[in-house]
Structure 1
Amino acid sequence: MKRIQFIQACAAALCLAASSASLAQGYPTKPIRLIVPFPAGGATDLFARTLSQKMGEKLGTTLVIDNKPGAGGAIGSDMAAKATPDGYTLLLATTSTHSIGPAITPKLPYDTVRDFTPIAHVGDAPSIMLVPNNSPAKTVREWIDYAKKNPGKLNYASSGNGTIVQLTAELFKSQAGVFVTHIPYKGTALAIPDLITGKVDVLFDSLPTGMPHVRDGRLRALGVTTLKRSPLAPELPPIADVLPGFESNTWFGLYGPKGLPADMVARINTAANQSLSDPEVRDKLARLGIEPTTSTPAQLASLVAADAAKWKQIITDRKITGD
């Protein structure tokens, strides 16, 4: 009896494998839904629309953007996690959904490792360190020295509790050994006027929203949050030149539900990498403040694991909570 059950189980496994292989071989035969877990018009949405057009050409189908915002990206991410792993539902995940979210919200309805299939790391959006024009500091080192001479007297703005903007500032404080008070705003756009007038002393903002104020002469940029100079703002030195290893990027990654067949993963990964190597796509992303990347699924998984561990440590050490 046990032998018969074993043979039946093996046969079922072989049938399932054959069915998956057959499905992947003809893939895709219809449009693919790309869930964006943030509102239309935001950076993640614009990135998705730029990438999806070229990816659709490579795959021979259409990628349909489906915005499912809410709960810091958790609503759309949960929908993707619970989708059928047939290659027709993908997710554009970010630092918020897969690195910060699990630490800020331990009771997420999905597990970022167990419930998803990594496909490709597709881009990074670095930030810049902004100060008012009347700040006495003209370099990162000078700002750190200034903060150490004025403990508790300086403050930093963020886009809200538990956001990448706050975490970047807390990472900076931790590595620099300075005490700076947090002032949360409902978005960095609301913080910029107070930064310009000097009501707040520093803000770690995204490149596309921060650099226009620098180039207009209303703010001063001291450094960029990438390990090396960013091609998007090559004139800015990395903060890591002063604080070795300092890095904070919003990454973007393509995921599928758990159990997505390997052949499909490879097909989507190839289409993504080829699309991100296209000069037109790269130019459009640069204007969004995003550095396009190419990767294997394993490289995405490794990146996210390291990033999640880093932010979890900061969140725990600094006792950070979400709004």
Structure 2
Amino acid sequence: MFIKRLAISAVAAATFSLGGAGAHAAYPDKPVTVIVPQSPGGTNDIVARLISDKLAQKLGQPFVVQNKPGAGGNIGTAQTAREAPDGYTVLFTVSSAQAINPALYKDPGFDPVKDFAPVAAVGTVPNVLIVHPSFPANTLEEFIKVIKANPGKYQYASAGNGTLNHLLGAMLDEKGGLKLQHIPYRGVAPAMTDVLGGQVPMFFASLPSSIATIKSGKLRALGVSTKDRNPALPDVPAIGEQIPGFAGELWIAMYVPKNTPKDVIDTLYKATQDVLADPDVKKKYAELGVEMLTDDPEQLAKRQQADLELWGNIVKSTGAQLN
């Protein structure tokens, strides 16, 4: 009898162990690495850390952010593409890396469609056309008149050839029939410094990086790059209100390596939607000037494809391709 009870107990223990192992294997059952292919402190990094902290609380495992900057985002993106498709490496990136770089670089080291599965788009970051206070225009309408009356006279700064603020300036030129001179800098900081100093009169800057200088009066905002006005600057028009067809935004999104199981993607997507509904996240977004997006994988794929075509055409027309 004792031996029989012992055998039954052993079977029960084995069954419990197997059941426990199965339950424990539910995704995620270990820390998740979040690759941010840009430097610390930028808008994407701030949003990635905000969302990752909330996902960790929601899913019960650490979501550890690692910054892997370089080559405009190509280094970290290419690294993620080579990781195992198991959901334990997530790419938190921006459209400039995922939808512009494939046209900008001859070999970025990854294919944005073939190498990745979309998870969710979580926000858009407007860019603002800002000018030095000495610039002889107070409104977007006046700006266009001044530029058209003085073709080739005025310059705009950028963080470098092929950067988003360069391509937005090129789009402004093309769509508006303007003739602006492009002055590339080696990064946002030196470009912004010279615009603040009046050496170059204008610049497309991300709203989070420029809102303080706009509100202080050190720079003047004339238009936002998104198709609609931004709640943080309700009196500043969308450039498309004056220049039909102009719209360009920086979006932030999550991807995983291609062939990651659908149930893992679904888990990440659903958890992300819960995070985006969190009042703390909404408050932080408003402070940053980031507009919320809730794209599902299919919607994100369509958004990416549209931008691949948009920016591919702009890169081609400007000849901005890099080696």
Is TM-score (shorter-chain normalized) higher than 0.5?
yes
Instruction: Tell me the secondary structure at the aligned position of residue 268 of structure 2.
Output: helix
| Partner amino acid, structure 1, of 2:272 | A
Superposed counterparts of 1:37-76, under 5 Å: 37-76=37-76
Distance in 2, Cα, partners of 1:142 & 1:177: 15
Counterpart of 1:6 in structure 2 is: none
Distance in 1, Cα, partners of 2:188 & 2:90: 29
| Partner amino acid, structure 1, of 2:230 | S
Instruction: Tell me the secondary structure at the aligned position of residue 295 of structure 2.
Output: coil
Superposed counterparts of 1:85-164, under 5 Å: 85-164=85-164
> Residue 50 of structure 1 contacts residue 285 of structure 1 at CA under 8 Å; is this kept in 2?
no
TM-score normalised by the chain length of structure 2: 0.89
Distance in 1, Cα, partners of 2:228 & 2:38: 29
Distance in 1, Cα, partners of 2:130 & 2:295: 31
Moved more, 308-317 or 130-139: 130-139
* Stretches of structure 2 lacking an aligned partner (at least 5 in a row): 1-21
Distance in 2, Cα, partners of 1:71 & 1:260: 26
Query: What is the identity percentage for the equivalent residue pairs of Structure 1 and Structure 2?
Result: 40
| Partner amino acid, structure 1, of 2:28 | P
Per-residue CA deviation, residues 235-293 of structure 1 (Å, 9 max, x unaligned), is 21111111123212111110000101111111100111111121101211332332221
Distance in 2, Cα, partners of 1:145 & 1:302: 36
* Corresponding pairs, count: 302
TM-score normalised by the chain length of structure 1: 0.89
Counterpart of 2:10 in structure 1 is: none
Distance in 1, Cα, partners of 2:189 & 2:40: 17
**1:48, distance to aligned residue in structure 2 (A):** 0.8
Counterpart of 1:295 in structure 2 is: 295
Distance in 1, Cα, partners of 2:163 & 2:235: 27
Counterpart of 1:244 in structure 2 is: 244
The structure whose Rg is larger is 2
Task: Mark the CA change 1:180 to 1:23 in structure 2 (over 3 Å): closer, same or farther.
Answer: farther
**1:103, distance to aligned residue in structure 2 (A):** 0.6
> Residue 24 of structure 1 contacts residue 263 of structure 1 at CA under 8 Å; is this kept in 2?
no
* Stretches of structure 1 lacking an aligned partner (at least 5 in a row): 1-21
| Partner amino acid, structure 2, of 1:321 | Q
Distance in 2, Cα, partners of 1:23 & 1:173: 58
**1:24, distance to aligned residue in structure 2 (A):** 11
> Residue 103 of structure 1 contacts residue 312 of structure 1 at CA under 8 Å; is this kept in 2?
yes
Distance in 2, Cα, partners of 1:113 & 1:27: 24
Instruction: Tell me the secondary structure at the aligned position of residue 294 of structure 2.
Output: coil
